[in-house]
Amino acid sequence: MPDLTRIPAFDVLKNGDFRTLWTVKVVNEVSRRIELLTLGYLVLRMTDSPFQVGLIAVFLNLPRPFFSLFAGLVADRLDRRRVLIGVHAIYSVISTVLLLLIVMGAVEPWHVFIAVFLQGSAKALDDPSRRTAIFDLAGRERLASAMSLETINNNSGKIAGPLIGGVLIASTGFVGSYA
């Protein structure tokens, strides 16, 4: 495998803490996109309503403008590592509860809407905490490279996640795709 750290834009990956944060973000972004595709298709199958599928995005993004100001203060004042671990623990609990509802055949659209609303609330904390952590780890001199890698993560997740999610739904159903 080629050594990406020899490319100036990837030099920031020499920092082990940044590399860990970046790797976690890659996995999280792909997983998030698989989850959103799966939930959208699940709601469509349950309701036959494109409108209700659209509500997933509404409920996911609704809390972010309201919590963003508070989230910035949290990112500035608390240990970013602990905040990020807490946010990802929240994501895991929400996803586990939703997975159990799917496995039991008890999931309803309102469960999905509440789950994505809670995830959107946590995401409002995730973004400023992660971006501030990126600055802390990369420093001013490598910030542009670090943010470029952050953008690559985001866009790669938007490509790979739905592709993987579609294959998983087709081959394993909702439970396999969501798990």
pLDDT in tens, 81-112: 999 999 999 999 999 999 999 999 999 999 99
Domains of the chain: total: 1
User: Within a domain: residue 12?
Assistant: no
Domain that holds residue 113: 30-133+140-178
User: Within a domain: residue 8?
Assistant: no
Cα separations in angstroms, 51 against 57, 59, 64, 176: 10, 12, 21, 25
Q: What is the mean pLDDT of residues 120-140?
A: 93
Q: What is the mean pLDDT of residues 27-52?
A: 96
Burial of 146 (0-12, 13-18, 19+ CB in 10 A): buried
Angle, CA of 41, 106 and 50, to the nearest 5°: 25
User: Within a domain: residue 87?
Assistant: yes
User: Within a domain: residue 42?
Assistant: yes
User: Within a domain: residue 38?
Assistant: yes
pLDDT reported for residue 176: 87
User: Within a domain: residue 7?
Assistant: no
pLDDT reported for residue 55: 98
End-to-end Cα separation, the chain, in angstroms: 30
Instruction: Compute the distance between CA of residue 102 and CA of residue 75 in angstroms, rounded to an integer.
Output: 34
Q: pTM score, two decimals?
A: 0.88
**74-83, 93-102, 151-160: least confidently modelled range:** 74-83
Return the percentage of the chain with pLDDT > 90, whole number.
77
User: Within a domain: residue 6?
Assistant: no
DSSP type of residue 120: H
User: Within a domain: residue 88?
Assistant: yes
Cα separations in angstroms, 162 against 9, 40, 70, 170: 27, 11, 31, 12
